[in-house]
Structure 1
Amino acid sequence: MHLADHPARRRLSAALDNLAVTFHGMTARPDEHNCECHWGSPEELSLLKTPNVELEPDLLRRAWQATDWTDHAAVLRRVLPQFATALVAGRTEHWFGPEDAGYSFARGRWQQWPHHHARPVREFLHAWWAQSLTDPEAIVPAHQVFVMCAEASGTLRPWLAEWEKQTGYLSDRHLAEAAATWEYELLGESLPWRVGWYEHDEEEIRAELVAWLLGHAAARLRASGASADLQHRIRLLGLTGEDRWTDPHWPSHRY
C-alpha cells in the first residue's frame, strides 16, 4: 500500500475538508474584545471578525489560547479549520503541553453545539487519533494526540477503546512510548499532564488511565516484547505505599 493510499490519512483529510466547509464564513462576535496590551491590536482583533482570512501563526495561537473571550465558542469556530490543520501538521505552540489545545476545545463546549457543528469536530478528533496510531508518517506523537483528544472531550473512554482496537506494530510501539513517558508521574500519584479545565476531574482521569495500563496495556506490553524495566514500572502502579517503593524493581524515582 502506498502511503498516499493510507486509509487513516484519507479519513483525516476528509475530516479536515469537512471542518473547512462547515465553518466557512464564521466570525467572532461583532462586539468581541480583548486587552490590547496583553492580547493584540484592534487591527488583529478585527481579523477575527472578518470571515475566511488566514491568520498568521502567532495570531492564530493567541486566538485559540486566550481564556478570556466573551464568546470563546464563536472564536473557536472562526479559527477551527486553520487551527485543526496546524495541529495535525505539528505547527502549534504549546506553552504547557498538548493539553493546551484540548482546553481550547473544552472551553468552546463544542459537544453542546448543534449536531451539524459538533459532528465534524468529533469526526476530526477521532480521525486524527486513528491516524496517529496507524500512519507511519504521522507528525505528532500518538501520546500527545491522546492527551489533546482526552482534554478536548473530557473523557478517556473512546480514545482508549480505539487503542484497544488498533493492535498492529505501530500502535504497540506508540503504547510503549506512552507508557515510558507517563510512568514517572503516575508512580508519583500524578497525572502526566495538567488538567486546566475545571469540569475535568484529574484524579478520576488518573485512576482510569492507571486501571487501563494495569489491565489491557500491561498484557499488550508483554505480548509485544516491551522492555522488562517498562513492564515492571507499569506493574508497580498496582502497588501502594511501602510495597511500591521497596519493590526490587522500584526505579529510584525522586519526587
Structure 2
Amino acid sequence: MDARPLPPRLTHALDQLALVFRGMTAPDHADQCTCHWGSEEELALLKVPDVELDPDLLRRTWQTVGWLDAHDGVLRRILPQLCRALAEGTVETFLDSYDEVGRCFAVSTWQQWPAAQRDAIREFLHAWWEQALTAPETDSETDSEAAHGPPAHAVLVGCVEATGTLTPWLAAWEDRDDDISARHLARAVEHWAYDLLCDVLPWPTWAEDEEAEALRAELTGWLLRCAPPRLRRVHAPDTLLHQVRLMGLTGLARWEDPHWPYTPSPDPSQGPLPARPGPYGTMTPSPTDPAARPAGEP
C-alpha cells in the first residue's frame, strides 16, 4: 500500500528545516570508531553539507550517542533528512520504539539553539504529531504502519523524549475530539495498559526516576479523565475501559478487582507486579510472558 501524501503543515515544516539547516556540517573533530561505526569515507560525508546519506548511514549517525561535544553539530547536519524520514515513516528503530529518536534530540542542546533553528524543530514535532493523530487507523496494524507511518503512541514517545514534556502533546490529543484520534487512543491504551497497571512509564526513557514518575502520573491522570468517553464512542472493548478504570485504583483495590486482567495477582507484601532489567533500564514484563497473561489464557 502506498503511503499517503504528507499534509501541508508537515510539508512546510520540512521545507523550513531544509532552509534553516542548509549548509550545516558536522564539526571537524567529530569522530567515531571506524571498526564498529563505519568507514572514514562515511565520516567524511558528515562534514560535507547537504549531501544525502544512505539510509543505513543516517541510522547509524542518529542512533549513536557517542559524538560527545560534536553531537549538536552532527544533529544539525542530519536534521532535514532525519525529519523527512520520520515524516515518511521510513525510520527503523529498535522494537519500533521512538524513544531512541527522541533521545537523539534530547542529548543535544537544541532548545537553546538560535530561535530560527529551535522554532523549526518545534514546528516539525508539532506537525509530525498532528499527522500521527489524523492518520486513519485500519484493522491491520501492519497495513496501517506501512500506509500511514508509525502509530500515534509511538510518535508521542518520540516527541516527549525530544522535548522532556508530555503536556503539549496530550493537550493537542485532547483538542482532537474525533473518531480517528479516539481510535488511536484505544490502540495506545491497549499498548500501555500493562505497564501503567504496574505503575511504570510505558516506554524506555532517559529521564531521571523522579521525572519518569511525574510523566507516568501525568499520563495516567490524563487517561482517567479523557479516555473513557472516547473509548465508548468508538466501541472499544470493555476490557480497555476496565483497564483505564483500574489505573485509578491502588493496591488491593486494584489487584482484587474482579476485572484485574492478569494472573497471578501481586502479593500485597511484595508490591506490584515485578519489573525486570531491560536494554534501557528497568522494564516490566510483556503481557505475552507466561506470568503476565490474562486470566484464562493458555
**TM-score, normalisation: structure 1:** 0.93
- Does the CA-based 8 Å contact 1:195-1:202 persist in structure 2? yes
Tell me the distance in 2 between the aligned counterparts of 1:72 and 1:80: 12
CA contact (8 A) 2:183 2:231 kept: no
**Separation of aligned partners in 1, 2:210 and 2:94:** 20
1:194 is matched with which residue?
204
1:208–1:164 distance in 2 versus 1, CA, 3 Å: same
CA shift, 1:198, in A, is 5.0
Local SS of the residue matching 1:147: helix
Contact residue 9 and residue 135 of structure 1 kept, 8 A: no
Helix, strand or coil at the partner of 1:28: coil
1:54-79 per-residue CA deviation (whole Å, 9 max, x = no partner) reads 10111101111111113211111100
Report how far residue 153 of structure 1 moved: 0.6
Aligned to 1:79: 78
> Residues of 2 paired with 1:109 and 1:219: CA distance?
39
User: What 5-or-longer segments of structure 1 have no aligned partner?
Assistant: none
Distance 1:55 1:198 in 2: 34
The answer for the alignment partner of 2:22 in structure 1 is 24
C-alpha spacing 1:171/1:199, structure 2 compared with 1 (3 Å): same
Aligned sequence identity (%): 51
Q: Please give the secondary structure, in 2, of the residue aligned with 1:51.
A: coil
CA distance in 2, matches of 1:53, 1:92: 18
Q: 1:45 aligns with which of 43, 49, 62?
A: 43
Question: Counterparts of 2:170 and 2:210 in 1: how far apart (Å)?
Answer: 17
CA distance in structure 2 between the partners assigned to 1:158 and 1:248 by the alignment: 35
2:157 aligned with 1:159, yes or no? no
TM superposition shift of 1:138 = 3.0
**Counterpart residue number, 1:56:** 54
Deviations 1:35-59 (A, max 9, x none): 1222111111100000011101111
1:199 CA displacement: 9.2
User: Match for residue 150 of structure 1?
Assistant: 160
Displacement of 1:224: 3.7
Q: Where do 5+ consecutive residues of structure 2 fail to align? A: 137-146, 264-290, 293-298
Are 1:242 and 2:242 an aligned pair? no
- In 1, the alpha carbon distance for the partners of 2:134 and 2:232 equals 20
How many angstroms apart in 2 are the aligned matches of 1:200 and 1:32? Answer: 33
Higher helix share: 1
Counterpart Cα distance in 2 of 1:222 and 1:169: 11
SS of 1:247's equivalent in the other structure is: coil
Q: Which string of whole-angstrom CA distances, capped at 9 and with x for unpartnered residues, describes residues 170-202 of structure 1?
A: 111101111111001111121110002559821
**Structure 2 vs 1, CA of residues 20 and 200 (structure 1 numbering), >3 Å: closer, same or farther?**
farther
User: Does the 8 Å contact 2:179/2:233 carry over to 1?
Assistant: no
Give the partner amino acid of 1:123: E
Question: Aligned in 2, Cα 1:51/1:200: closer, same or farther, shift over 3 Å?
Answer: farther
Q: In the TM superposition, what is the alpha-carbon distance from 1:168 to its structure 2 partner? A: 1.3
Mapped contact 1:28–1:75 kept (Cα < 8 A): yes
SS in 2 for 1:252: coil
Distance 1:226 1:174 in 2: 11
**For the residues of structure 2 that align with 1:148 and 1:86, how far apart are their CA atoms?**
13
- Secondary structure of the residue that 1:71 maps to in structure 2? helix
Q: Distance in 2 between matches of 1:68 and 1:187?
A: 35
What is the CA distance between 1:111 and its match in structure 2? Answer: 1.1
Q: Deviations over 1:106-130 (max 9, x none)?
A: 1122111110100010000000111
Write the mapping of 1:1-255 to structure 2, written as runs, cut at 5 A: 9-69=7-67, 70-96=69-95, 97-136=97-136, 138-198=148-208, 201-253=211-263, 254=291
Mapped partners of 1:124, 1:85: distance in 2? 10
Secondary structure at the aligned position of 2:130 is classed as: helix
Cα distance in 2, alignment partners of residues 23 and 41 from structure 1: 25
Matched-pair contact (CA < 8 Å) for 2:29–2:70: no
Q: Secondary structure at the match of 1:214?
A: helix
Per-residue CA distance 1:91-148 (angstroms, 9 max, x = gap): 1121251110000011122111110100010000000111111133632211111111
Q: How many residues align?
A: 251
